[in-house]
């Protein structure tokens, strides 16, 4: 008997060259973009910083939700294949709505951090440092307790800390602010602290100095980047492997100010920055 072997052509998955959209209220989300660039060097990215309306933290959640809907709608119109909300306040205020309304996948930065914190804690006492808007949104509390209902959770709002980091304020001024915000968490005996704002990793040495080595600081840019890569693979919308991707920058504020501050956050060169008017964003959500 002659065995007939069926020959099949190897399956070549089509590549998707559309860029990935990333946005934040300012340049803090560049810390997330940096990890995405390292994890997916073959992908293209477009980053939008809403400097004209920075900061988001003190604003009412409904206003932040509106801003996020405008920016995400604008990026979708620019034909991105996935959107990363690289802003904890905007993620807390708007992620479910964005995922329902948009046709492209939308990922946030809160879920990976909550998961990492629950895995890291030894005494089940977790603290959160975040903007007032993120704390008010309550999303971290919900996610942490969903993962471990027995965790004691201590959120602390840090008004003004984003401004100090954006302005690269003097060391002593930033240190004094960190000591003030860290005090209730140290008093609560937490062993794990979520850095619930994409700006905060820029002052990680100061935070670790105040909390000490026994406290684990959680910032999940790496986990977020990994989730982006897995989502692209699962949906079959990756770019051609082996190529070198590009990245572009948009801001609603001053492009030169964005370039100057952004280099410190991205740790990579920033060339041209395109200005986007608020009216253009508002039209995208109309």
DSSP 4-15: PPPP-PPP-PPP
Which of 197, 218, 228, 273 is catalytic? The answer is 197
Contact by Cβ (8 Å): 45, 20: yes
Is 87 designated active site?
yes
Q: Find, among 126, 125, 198, the residue nearest to 166 by Cα.
A: 198
- Which single residue is written with the structure tokens 């939700």? 65
Q: What phi and psi values does residue 244 have, to the nearest 5 degrees? A: -100, 120
Which of 54, 61, 86, 87 is catalytic? The answer is 87
CA angle, residues 126, 132, 47, in degrees to nearest 5: 95
Q: Which residues are catalytic?
A: 87, 197
């Amino acid at each position: 008997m002659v065995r007939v072997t069926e020959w099949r052509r190897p399956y070549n998955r089509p590549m998707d060259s559309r860029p990935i959209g990333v946005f934040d209220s300012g340049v803090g989300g560049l810390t997330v973009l940096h990890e995405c660039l390292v994890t997916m060097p073959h992908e293209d990215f477009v980053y939008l910083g809403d400097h004209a309306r920075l900061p988001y933290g003190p604003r009412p959640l409904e206003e932040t939700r509106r801003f996020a809907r405008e920016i995400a709608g604008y990026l979708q119109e620019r034909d991105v294949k996935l959107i990363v909300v690289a802003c904890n306040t905007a993620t807390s205020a708007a992620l479910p709505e964005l995922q329902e309304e948009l046709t492209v996948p939308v990922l946030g930065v809160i879920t990976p951090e909550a998961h990492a914190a629950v895995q890291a804690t030894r005494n089940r006492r977790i603290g959160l440092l975040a903007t007032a808007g993120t704390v008010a949104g309550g999303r971290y509390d919900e996610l942490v307790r969903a993962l471990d209902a027995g965790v004691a959770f201590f959120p602390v709002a840090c008004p003004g800390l984003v401004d100090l980091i954006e302005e690269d304020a003097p060391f002593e001024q930033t240190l004094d602010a960190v000591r003030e915000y860290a005090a209730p968490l140290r008093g609560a005996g937490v062993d794990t602290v979520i850095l619930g704002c994409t700006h905060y990793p820029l002052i990680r040495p100061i935070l670790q100095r105040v909390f000490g080595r026994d406290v684990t600081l959680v910032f999940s840019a790496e986990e977020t980047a990994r989730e982006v890569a897995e989502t692209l693979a699962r949906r079959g919308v990756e770019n051609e492997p082996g190529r070198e991707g590009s990245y572009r920058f948009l801001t609603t504020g001053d492009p030169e100010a964005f370039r100057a501050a952004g280099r410190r956050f991205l740790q990579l060169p920033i060339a041209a920055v395109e200005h986007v008017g608020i009216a253009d964003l508002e039209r995208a959500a109309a």
